[in-house]
Amino acid sequence: MWNRVEHYVDEIRANRWYAYFAVFCRISLAIAFGISGWVKISGERFAAGLPSNHPLGHYFDALLDTGFYYTFIGMGQVMVAILLLIPRSALLGAIAGFPIMLNIFVLTYSVRFEGTRTVTFMLLANLFLLVWDFQRIKHILPFQQTQRELQANSDKPRAHPFPYVFFTLVVLTLATVIGVNQIMYDIRPGNSAEECMNGCRDGPTPQASKQFCDCIYTKGKVLGKCLEEFEKAKAIELGANGRNQLRP
């Protein structure tokens, strides 16, 4: 299995289109890490437009209050951005950035943040960069190519056909992430009270949804408590709607 993985990585590294995609992933991640890190170094609250009563707003407010720890995180993110921009250190940047991206990925999904799609794309880009440099990473794993295999791979002619299948899979993956994020939660707090309320109009339980938004943005309760109240209100509203439909 590992030999097949090595063979596949060797094939894609011989194709300039994959190389262009790797550069795109590096630059995109570097920009994201750089902007996020610089905001923290500047001592500003990240996502300043996000209300404090938002579940993620609570987190950003608390993180800002940690003082030099907040600055330390920003310096780490800027360092990752610099490493990603330098070709020789890009692998180190991808390795250092992966746990950061994984942490952000879990965080955004746990609070039902609207930016989960973008964070998922970034995590996938980070994973691609790790696969891209698999030949270098493999030396810390208990699987290595033999010298004969390395010589055989180095003697292969370099070809540059456009990888239609790969980029089709990329598009399908992005579409799948967007689609799954659209249906995986029955309710989200949105990024503002207005956005949350707008999402209540077309739902099957508009009153319960409005109570949820009020619980988040007016009462400032934690997400878990608001979800508990929403589930109870939803059950009551659905029961009432069912009884109304049965009436002659």
When divided into structural domains, the chain yields a total of: 2
Judgement on whether residues 177 and 199 belong to the same structural domain of the protein: no
Q: What does pTM read for this prediction? A: 0.85
One-letter amino acid identity for 164?
A: Y
pLDDT, tens digit, 9 for 90 and up, residues 70-129: 999 999 999 999 999 999 999 999 999 999 999 999 999 999 998 899 999 999 999 999
CA terminus-to-terminus distance, the chain: 65
Q: According to the per-residue pLDDT averaged within each range, which of 20-34, 145-159, 221-235 is highest?
A: 20-34
Residues 121 and 203 in one domain: no
What are the Cα distances from residue 123, in Å, to 99, 147, 180, 200?
10, 33, 16, 30
**Are 70 and 126 members of one domain?**
yes
Say yes or no: 173 and 223 in one domain.
no
Predicted local confidence at residue 137, as pLDDT: 84
The yes-or-no verdict on residue 135 having pLDDT over 80 is yes
Could you tell me if 170 and 197 lie in one domain?
Answer: no
The domain in which residue 213 lies consists of 193-246
Composition of the chain by helix, strand, coil, percent to 5: 75, 0, 25
Residue at a domain's end among 129, 149, 183: 183
The residue among 195, 203, 215, 192 whose CA lies nearest residue 241 is: 203
Same domain, 14 and 128: yes
Residues 31 and 122 in one domain: yes
Task: Report whether pLDDT(152) > 60.
Answer: no
Which pLDDT band, with edges at 50, 70 and 90, does 245 fall under? low
